[in-house]
Structure 1
């Protein structure tokens, strides 16, 4: 059931980037930049540019607590954080100038992510230190929902969607300062040969790690503790050959959410997220452990999930698929095996094709070939929850060799296509 041949082929195609041995120590740059050591953005970016211009290597940030604005990575540069390094990013929006980016699947000009790379190759963030976005309800997070229940970002979200729907050119979709679309923490846009390992990420404005239209990505041994709104842990979007291994997620939204563009912007590029491996990960808190969508217009396929665990009682679903007839997109060939789950608050498998706009569109979603094996859940409110509509398509869901304990509610399955197949083999519902 688990396609190990295809799994191994993907694994063998993911290559860890290699960097020159030369090192660029941040301390040597302090006296070049002025006497103001409070904001070291210029120091870090100068070291990255020097490293890049000299053929690449490693920029080493020493132990200590530093304050910083946006960092822009360059090809052949490994940004290394020592064990007791803490980089605290400013929360003043004025420090985050505009760049080409994508906000929840829609292209625009907006605040630079805290760490950003565009069209670079062989880049890395490694070491043992901590990246602290310093986001809270008193700055970035308040844009989603303030303590007085105001939602500052809603107007800009509606404006951005309007621009997409009316085919406004990207270079005229200008947001940034005096607008309220929060930046990602790390966004790697049109990049290849990416390594992120060993670091800890806390308090992100929104999405933490967002590879976009990139390939050959290895994310390993990363700890994410960020429970703010829309704080997805890792969001590969229209990416291929991705390995997420041995990571810890404690998030305010989905732990891992795989995406491929939204609506007309997603259809223009039409690049799927594919050949993605998620293994040996530990999920603590989040809406979903693994989520496909909701921005999935370009499609999602060949996703392999193995040997993952959840702890605590905060996860709503393990595998969640969100789509509708406005976004469309094909999601297929999903393989899951060897999963140990403490508690699921909603359902183990949740497929919702009535998400947001639901059936009110012309791009019918298709989901098929989901293979699930060797699942153990200690507490499960519902095993399967599927909501679809006439003319959508769901088929070939296989569940075998699994144990679901302490089930609170029966499964709910709403599929309209006649040739649907949901197969259970050696599954115990206790």
Structure 2
């Protein structure tokens, strides 16, 4: 006999509660009980920001330069400078640290840059480093992630594995040269191989046996420190990445300051801290083909099995133009995300789709808590200004996501189809969302609000009218 809708709902609710209990055990605490005091929920808010900031310190480097011209590099945009950069990085590392200097000029590099501990890769003002678009130049394959799934794949254009005290600085430009004629064209035909990688993760196949590359369509990201500590990215410009731009994975203590990211290709996310801790992103400029900043924590089985959340992310004084979202959590966030603070930002493009967005589903699962967004001006978005969707892509499974303690304060949106789109799970609703001192102007459609508990509006106006509970 098929279950009635009511019994099916109750079954899903029990699954959701069991999922929450397991998640709580993984976090080392018991799930909060109905009617429990708020202090037991370990909510983190703006008052906790100074303490988190104290944990983020940019690395420093010895005052020694290793100029790549001393190792044979020629600025003719034709001669491969990879051998010279590799030698300069090795020399700086062996000397105990220093700055690998790329002077002004147009440079060509046929392959990736692999950073080593205590090395600051510095592109001087007027320097443009043009990367090869030939996939074989990014072999041998390295241990990496593709959209939250661990694989052996082409090397990121700038990569570091298990290094400490590394930096990419200067006023120069790193140009990935991706276009519809090379890397970006792969997005249309890669689905079979992407699904294969995800199924390998579900089946528990070791990462070293998940071998891709070989034109399978899994594009490399631009910058990926992997299992690294003490990272600085400052001042530089990145253009036209094959995939995501800056994607620290399993890293700690990261400062990204005054970086410019420009690329309107498929999946051209700007900055994606993933399964990483203590990250400051400030004074940056994003004009992207996907999310400007997307907080991630691994996908599906890999995200749950590795079980490392992303936490303590501070975003401030950034400018976002084109993109799917300004500040986004998900959707690859199966390991969980907590303590994200975004403030004093400007979002200024009719082609930006959302200002604040949280996305997951019952296949990806994960937890999201303590997400705070304030003092942001938004000229226009093409979708809802504030969106939480726990039915993302319509995928379903037994891993119920939890979302709680989310706030938006002092935000002005000049134009949007909707102010809010909250689509939570009735079995395990979104909890504790506060919208305070916000104005939403030129709103053309009503908000969608389902599957949410303890939603509060304080001094919120939509088209000049007070928003009631």
- Common fold: TM-score over 0.5: yes
Any unmatched runs of 5+ in structure 2? 1-42, 464-469
CA apart distance, 1:351 = 1.0
Alignment match, 1:388: 424
Corresponding residue for 2:91?
Answer: 50
Which of the numbers 122, 143, 151 marks the counterpart of 1:108? 151
Structure 2 partner of 1:164: 201
Q: Matches of residues 6-405 of structure 1 in structure 2 within 5 Å?
A: 6-30=48-72, 38-68=79-109, 69-97=111-139, 98-144=141-187, 151-358=188-395, 360-405=396-441
Query: Among residues 441, 456, 462, which one is paired with 1:423 in the alignment?
Result: 456
CA RMSD of aligned residues (A): 1.6
Rounded Cα–Cα distance in structure 1 between residues aligned with 2:369 and 2:45: 13
Displacement after TM superposition at 1:89 (Å) = 0.3
Aligned to 2:442: 406
- Structure number with the higher strand fraction is 1
Aligned length: 418
Q: Aligned partners of 2:336 and 2:326: how far apart in 1?
A: 19
TM-score (norm 1): 0.95
Equivalent position SS for 1:164: helix
Question: Structure 1 residues 82 and 361 mapped into 2: Cα distance closer, same or farther (>3 Å)?
Answer: same
Question: What CA distance in whole angstroms lies between the structure 1 residues aligned with 2:394 and 2:196?
Answer: 17
Q: Distance in 1 between matches of 2:371 and 2:239?
A: 30
Q: Deviations over 1:76-104 (max 9, x none)?
A: 00000010000000000010110000110
Secondary structure of the corresponding residue to residue 229 of structure 1 = coil
Q: Residues of 1 paired with 2:174 and 2:264: CA distance?
A: 15
Q: Secondary structure at the match of 2:380?
A: strand
For 1:393 and 1:361, the matched residues in 2 are separated by 16
**Cα offset, 1:331, TM superposition:** 0.1
Distance 1:143 1:155 in 2: 12
Question: Greater CA deviation, 292-301 or 349-358?
Answer: 349-358
Q: Please say which structure displays the higher CA radius of gyration.
A: 2
Alignment check: 8 A CA contact 2:77 2:108 kept: no
Report if aligned partners of 2:117, 2:163 keep a CA contact under 8 Å in 1.
Answer: yes
Per-residue deviation, 1:152: 1.9
The structure with the greater share of residues assigned to helix is 2
Deviation at 1:2, TM superposition (A): 9.1
Unaligned runs of 5+ in 1: 145-150
* Mapped contact 2:46–2:372 kept (Cα < 8 A): no
CA distance in 2, matches of 1:110, 1:228: 20
Cα deviation code 1:334-368 (max 9, x no counterpart): 1111011100110111111111243x211111101
Separation in structure 2 between the aligned mates of residue 428 and residue 388 of structure 1, nearest angstrom: 23
Write the distance in 2 (CA, Å) between the matches of 1:29 and 1:285. Answer: 40
Distance (whole Å) between structure 1 residues aligned to residue 356 and residue 202 of structure 2: 30
Tell me: CA distance 1:203–1:37, structure 2 relative to 1, closer, same or farther (3 Å).
closer
With normalisation by structure 2, the TM-score equals 0.87
Offset of 1:169 from its aligned partner? 1.3
